[in-house]
Amino acid sequence: MAKEFKRKDGRKPTELRKIVAKVGVIPNADGSAMFAFGDTVAIAAVYGPRLLHPKHMEDPTKCILRVNYDLLPFSVHDRKKPGPSRRSQEISKVTEWALSPVVDLKSFPNTVIDVQIYIIQADAGTRTAGINAASMALAHAGIPMKNLVCSVAVGKLDKNLVVDLTKEEEDFEEGEGSTDFAIARIANTDEFTLLQFDGKVQPELINDLISLSDNACKEIYEAQKKALKEIIK
């Protein structure tokens, strides 16, 4: 019988890091949330719908969802240079794409909903933690949504498929190295809103990696739902 692969932090291949989810963490925002995978902590704040300036950017058919993602300077071991980077701009855009399918943007024409995502501590999985926090913050703000979005990174360490990689696992170089596959899906559905690869993987393993995200996303959804229910008690 083959010995089960154990990760350096003791987790099973399919095991997420400890999840912490809260809403209402920023009092002056219209909606806010915190979501953590272990040592990766994301905070999201939602402002709007509100008037969009300059007016020539308005869309008379729908609201514009505008996301800004950023790592705070001391969120990583090597102090990050302040201000937006190409990476933060890319993650801002893919987060917009991941969230837009569940938000009823047509209800608020000529307006904007701003979503600010800040990573206050980073140990890989920052974009997925940010998406989870932002989904909760939008719901907390009362924005009409058809569902929550759940996001997780799955990947491969040499020949072993795993869920929720740490930074050390992302840097894994033994054998075939590591692959990081960020996935976002509409909760309790097979509708995906983000599939983003970093690394290499055999095509025949893609479905296995996607299947690996099934239970992980269910667990994330339960944490999101519990946090939102607690705020309305």
Tens of pLDDT along the chain (233 residues) come to: 345 677 889 999 999 999 999 999 999 999 999 999 999 999 999 999 999 888 888 899 999 999 999 988 665 555 556 666 788 899 999 999 999 999 999 999 999 999 999 999 999 999 999 999 999 999 999 999 999 999 999 988 878 899 999 998 888 766 555 678 999 999 999 999 999 987 777 888 888 999 999 999 999 999 999 999 998 76
DSSP calls for 63-114? PEEEEEEEE-TTSSSSPPPSS--HHHHHHHHHHHHHHGGGB-GGGSTTEEEE
Q: Which residue, chain included where needed, has tokens 């929550």?
A: 148
Q: Which domains does the chain have, with CATH numbers?
A: 19-231 (3.30.230.70)
Output the six-digit token pair for 197. 């690869």
Give this prediction's pTM. 0.92
